[in-house]
């Protein structure tokens, strides 16, 4: 049994290797504010960088990521232009897990508490992978709180993920599920639950996102784990949405072009928002 579990876990981590984000050597700015926000009894970790009086930009990390997921890529440059708010979703970083199932809808409600605490009426958003998925859910559920939305490598439902990649997601989840069942360790159960979000979520439709009226920028890699047809349909479903396909980019490897492509594109997009 242990040998079978080891083989399953080894396969899972090999298949999931393409999802990692490698940070660059960009120098980190000073953190201006750090703490925890009570979101209906769950403490959510956050940090603020850049101009405290500037236009707010909320960064939403990928599955399992935290407030430091963008430290080595877009955060340093964005902090030169915005009041950047980085958060660790439930169960990630130093944020509480909370009770019940982890869903984008629950995390979306957490973001309302975050914005209310920080006294921010409307926010610009950048989300990568599951962070972008959360950005879509939040914008659909709370359109009055969003000024603009930029996503990268995101899907609105599991049908948008390429078959091989979705199989690897499920295999990794099964590995975590088996390990958690054997060890009963809360840390293993948490990894299982976070991974499980990619197995069943998100559950939006193209009709849902067609209701989005704020400016949207949809970025995806030429060789992304998200189907190109799905990414293009996302853009086509939202009136006025823009898109950028990163030539040669995979999923996380799009960050390899942070300084030459992502930062200039994001700044042009956000600066064009009225």
* pLDDT tens digits, one per residue of 45-59: 999 999 999 999 999
**Is residue 8 pLDDT above 60, yes or no?**
no
Q: Which residues are within 8 A (CB) of 236 and not within 5 positions of it... i.e. 6 or more apart? A: none
**Mean predicted confidence (pLDDT) in 216-220:** 98
Q: Average pLDDT of 38-45?
A: 96
Which residue stretches of the chain are H helix?
Answer: 2-15, 74-78, 104-117, 130-141, 163-183, 186-200, 206-209, 228-237, 263-271
Q: Is residue 202 predicted with pLDDT exceeding 90?
A: yes
* pLDDT (average), residues 16-44: 77
**Nearest residue to 221 (alpha-carbon basis) of 162, 271, 170:** 162
Q: According to the model, what pLDDT value does residue 9 have? A: 37
Residue 1's pLDDT band, with cuts at 50, 70 and 90, is very low
247: pLDDT strictly greater than 70 = yes
**How does 101-134 read in b/e, with b if 16+ C-beta sit within 10 Å?**
ebbbebbbbbbeebbeebeeeebbbbbbbbbbbb
Of 206 and 4, more confident:
206
Average pLDDT, the chain: 92
More confident residue, 198 or 11: 198
pLDDT tens track for 157-201: 999 999 999 999 999 999 999 999 999 999 999 999 999 999 999
State the pLDDT at residue 25: 53
Tally DSSP H helices, then E strands, for the chain: 9, 8
Query: Which of 5-9's residues contact partners 24+ apart within 8 Å by CB, and which partners?
Result: 5/175, 5/178, 5/179, 5/182, 8/171, 8/174, 8/175, 8/178, 9/175, 9/179
User: What is the pairing mode between strands 83-88 and 123-128?
Assistant: unpaired
d(Cα 150, Cα 71) in Å, to the nearest integer?
18
**Average pLDDT in the 217-245 region?**
98
On the question of a cis peptide bond just before residue 202, with omega within 30 degrees of 0, the verdict is yes
Question: Residue 18: its pLDDT value, please?
Answer: 40
Taking the CA of residue 183 as centre, how many other CA atoms within 13 Å lie in the half-sphere pointing to its CB?
16
Q: What percent of the chain has pLDDT over 90?
A: 89
* Predicted local distance difference test score (pLDDT) of residue 274: 79
Q: How far apart are CA 17 and CA 15, in angstroms?
A: 6
According to CATH, the superfamily of the domain at 2-271 is Alpha/Beta hydrolase fold, catalytic domain (3.40.50.1820)
Does 42 score more than 90 pLDDT? yes
Per-residue pLDDT reduced to its tens digit, 70-97: 998 999 999 999 999 999 999 999 999 9
Q: Is the pLDDT of residue 233 over 60?
A: yes
Above 90 in pLDDT, residue 6?
no
Query: Has residue 26 got a pLDDT over 90?
Result: no
């Amino acid at each position: 049994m242990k040998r079978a579990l080891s083989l399953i876990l080894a396969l899972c981590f090999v298949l999931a290797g393409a999802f990692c984000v490698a940070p660059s050597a960009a120098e980190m700015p000073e953190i201006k504010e750090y703490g925890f926000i009570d979101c209906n009894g769950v403490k959510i970790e956050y940090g603020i960088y850049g101009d405290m009086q500037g236009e707010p930009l909320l960064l939403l990390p990928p599955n399992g990521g935290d407030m430091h997921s963008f430290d080595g890529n877009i955060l340093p440059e964005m902090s030169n232009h915005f009041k950047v708010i980085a958060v660790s979703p439930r169960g990630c970083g130093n944020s509480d897990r909370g009770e019940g199932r982890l869903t984008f809808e629950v995390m979306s409600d957490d973001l309302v508490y975050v914005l209310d605490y920080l006294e921010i009426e409307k926010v610009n958003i950048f989300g990568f992978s599951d962070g972008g998925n959360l950005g879509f859910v939040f914008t659909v559920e709370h359109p009055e709180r969003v000024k603009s939305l930029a996503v990268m490598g995101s899907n609105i439902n599991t049908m948008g993920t390429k078959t091989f990649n979705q199989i690897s997601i499920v295999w990794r989840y099964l590995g975590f599920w088996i390990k958690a069942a054997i060890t009963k360790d809360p840390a293993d159960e948490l990894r299982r639950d976070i991974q499980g979000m990619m197995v069943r979520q998100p559950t939006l439709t193209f009709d849902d996102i067609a209701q989005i009226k704020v400016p949207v920028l949809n970025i995806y890699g030429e060789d992304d784990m998200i189907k190109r047809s799905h990414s293009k349909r996302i853009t086509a479903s939202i009136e006025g949405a823009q898109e950028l396909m990163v030539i040669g980019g995979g999923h996380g490897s799009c960050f390899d072009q942070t300084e030459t492509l992502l930062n200039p594109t994001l700044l042009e997009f956000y600066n064009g928002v009225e």
